[in-house]
Amino acid sequence: MLGIQLDKLNTRSQTIVLASACALALSYTQASSVHAQAGDAESAGSTSAMILDMRASLDMAPVPAAEESSLIREYETAIESVEGEYGAYAPSLTEQLLGLGSVLQEENRHAEAADVFKRGVHLARINGGLYNGEQIQLLRGEIRSRRALGQYDDVDNRQRYLYRVERRALRHSEESAYALLDQAEWQREAYIQAVGGEENRIGRLRMMWDLYHQSLTEMISYFGDQSLELRKPLVGMIKAQYLIAGYEQYMPGKPTHAADSPYVQMTEAAFRKGESVLTALFELSVVNQAPPLQTVKEKLALADWAWWFGKRSEAEIYYAAASRYARESEDTQAGVFLEDALRQPQPLPTIDGMEPIPAPYWDDRGALVVSFSISDTGRVMDLERVGEPEVEEEAKDINRLLRALRGTRFRPMFTDGLPIASETIVWSWPPSAWSPQPLEPTRIN
């Protein structure tokens, strides 16, 4: 059942080569084919007593500051000892460098950590070959530190190399599917940061979609077409479709693409792809006997996608289906949720991490206060500033926020199954809403 819907997601299977910046400008229906070479990476031997499990995540529990300084000295001593006895290219040094780099990260000494991880990658490549798996944790560590330093061009280069290593070293492994998820999330972050220039941003979105689709394909082969693990790539795919179709998210201090960009358009193909993904998510919840609340949310997400896309008649059918499903489930929680969701206007999309504007106060307590109404088509009407900070330096950022609000498509209020215009709404925000904030880093296994 789910497999039938998944067949609609692409007319052909696609893979990606993240080998050059030129790949960023590929057309939506084209992607380079990757033919990974089979081969198992051999772990380097170690003669030191201080050995770390190379399979372990770098997301280790923080170490108390006093112990961290002690650990750094111990790692440095161990490295000197190995170098003195076995030379500067001893295979066991990579494990010691991984440990030292991880502790330096815990102390936020990212410049030093990046250099340590870089050396570890170099040694692992010398001792184990260009694509041996021992490099993976070292590369991820270097990427994490360079991201913390804001060195996004370097991060992009290392991500491309990491992709090539992972495609070979993790082949025929469940880890490969999760590595593809991380690569897709990096493409989204690089899109937001405009890494590589504005001309490459649409290529990022195509890569994002393709990487999530690759992950989905691999997860189906490992877990089957009914596993809840499939939710991860499917949710990523609908995020990609929103972005490809022209969705803009307000992020203080971050570049955004032009609303009339020739590269992002609301095409019928884009709508149907998103529709298929959201239908697959709904069917996945049904086949796994998810609580009615979850399945109602999936139905509502499908209706919201159609409404955001401007397909009003289809959206109204989906909203009615969500209401019918909630009633038939006889689940009080699901019914109350849907009733509340349709009682007041809601900016779209409602996907976690993709909210189009910062969450407001539904009153006038914030520093910036506005009033407006929402039409029965979901458009912002009669937007007025009721109050704002008297700080000239913030005027530009405030104007950007209000432009984003004005351009946001809302799910309107519904009464008796029909959309209606709202009365006057008062929203407000604290200064943090328009002040530049650091981007949440991409998860690295």
Cα–Cα distance measured from residue 382 to residue 224, given in angstroms and rounded to the nearest whole number: 51
pLDDT the model gives residue 2: 55
- 127: which 2 tokens? 């001792």
pLDDT the model gives residue 261: 47
R_g of the chain, CA atoms, integer Å: 25
3-state secondary structure 413-428: EEECCEEECCCCEEEE
Cα–Cα distance measured from residue 247 to residue 240, given in angstroms and rounded to the nearest whole number: 10
Would you say the pTM of this structure is higher than 0.95? no
Q: 86-112: per-residue pLDDT in tens?
A: 999 999 999 999 999 999 999 999 999
202 band by pLDDT with thresholds 50, 70 and 90:
confident
Q: What mean pLDDT is reported for the chain? A: 83
Q: 327-386: per-residue pLDDT in tens?
A: 998 889 999 999 999 999 999 999 988 899 999 999 999 999 999 999 999 999 999 999
- Rounded to an integer, the average pLDDT of 6-20 is 40
Q: 251-310: per-residue pLDDT in tens?
A: 776 655 444 444 456 688 889 999 999 999 999 999 999 999 999 999 999 999 999 999
Higher pLDDT, 201 or 161: 161
Residue type, 318: Y
- 148: which 2 tokens? 């913390």
CB 214 within 8 Å of CB 15: yes
62 band by pLDDT with thresholds 50, 70 and 90:
low
Q: 223-267: per-residue pLDDT in tens?
A: 999 999 999 999 999 999 999 888 888 877 665 544 444 445 668
Percent of the chain exceeding pLDDT 90 equals 67
pLDDT surpassing 80 at residue 53: no
